Structure 1
Amino acid sequence: MSNIVPTVYIVDDDISVRESLEELVSHEGWHPEIFGSAEAFLSHPRTPVPSCLILDVNLPDLSGLDLQRRFAFDQIDIPIIFITGYGDIPMSVQAMKAGAVEFLTKPFHDEVLLTAISQAIERSRSVLHDESETRTLRGCYASLSPREQEVMALVVRGLMNKQIGGELGISEITVKAHRGKMMRKMKASSVADLVNMNAKLDPKSRG
Structure 2
Amino acid sequence: MTGVILVAEDHPLFLQAVIDGLTSLLPTYRFERAVSLNEVLTKIEIHSPSLLLLDLDIPGANALGGVASVRAASPDLAVAILSASVTPALIAGALALGARGYFPKYLPLDLLSDGIAAVLNGEIRIPEEERQAACDDFFLRYATLSPQQCRVLDMIVDGLLNKQIAAALGISEQRVKEHVSQIMRRLGVSTRTQAAVLARTALLAGDLQST
Q: Which of 1 and 2 has greater Rg? A: 1
Cα displacement (A) at 1:11: 0.2
Whole-Å separation in 2 of the counterparts to 1:111 and 1:117:
10
- Contact 2:18–2:109, Cα closer than 8 Å, also in 1: no
What is the Cα-based RMSD across aligned positions, in Å? 2.0
Whole-Å separation in 2 of the counterparts to 1:109 and 1:9:
19
Does 2:69 correspond to 1:70? Answer: yes
Counterpart in the other structure of 1:21:
18
Counterpart in the other structure of 1:46:
46
Counterpart in the other structure of 1:93:
92
Whole-Å separation in 1 of the counterparts to 2:113 and 2:66:
22
Whole-Å separation in 1 of the counterparts to 2:116 and 2:46:
18
Structure 1 pair 84–98 and aligned structure 2 pair: CA distance change class (3 A): same
- Contact 1:6–1:121, Cα closer than 8 Å, also in 2: no
Whole-Å separation in 2 of the counterparts to 1:81 and 1:121:
10
Counterpart in the other structure of 1:118:
117
- Contact 2:56–2:66, Cα closer than 8 Å, also in 1: no
Identity of aligned residues (%): 14
Cα displacement (A) at 1:96: 1.3
2:89 counterpart SS class: helix
- Contact 1:81–1:116, Cα closer than 8 Å, also in 2: no
Alignment gaps of 5+ in structure 2:
124-211
Counterpart in the other structure of 2:36:
37
Whole-Å separation in 1 of the counterparts to 2:120 and 2:58:
24
Whole-Å separation in 2 of the counterparts to 1:26 and 1:90:
31
Pairing 1:83-162 to 2, within 5 Å after superposition: 83-123=82-122
2:111 counterpart SS class: helix
2:31 counterpart SS class: strand
2:122 counterpart SS class: helix
Q: Give the TM-score, by structure 2 length.
A: 0.51
2:8 maps to amino acid: V
Structure 1 pair 48–106 and aligned structure 2 pair: CA distance change class (3 A): closer
Q: Give the TM-score, by structure 1 length.
A: 0.52
Counterpart in the other structure of 1:56:
55
Q: Select the residue among 9, 23, 29 that pairs with 2:6.
A: 9
2:38 counterpart SS class: helix
Structure 1 pair 67–116 and aligned structure 2 pair: CA distance change class (3 A): same
Whole-Å separation in 2 of the counterparts to 1:46 and 1:67:
18
- Contact 1:38–1:64, Cα closer than 8 Å, also in 2: no
- Contact 1:101–1:116, Cα closer than 8 Å, also in 2: no
Q: Give deviations 1:172-191, integer Å, cap 9, x for gaps.
A: xxxxxxxxxxxxxxxxxxxx
Cα displacement (A) at 1:56: 0.5
Cα displacement (A) at 1:77: 1.5
1:61 counterpart SS class: coil
Whole-Å separation in 2 of the counterparts to 1:97 and 1:89:
12
Alignment gaps of 5+ in structure 1:
125-207
Structure 1 pair 77–64 and aligned structure 2 pair: CA distance change class (3 A): farther
Q: Which moved more, 1:30-39 or 1:94-103?
A: 94-103
How many positions carry a matched residue from both structures?
120
1:25 maps to amino acid: L
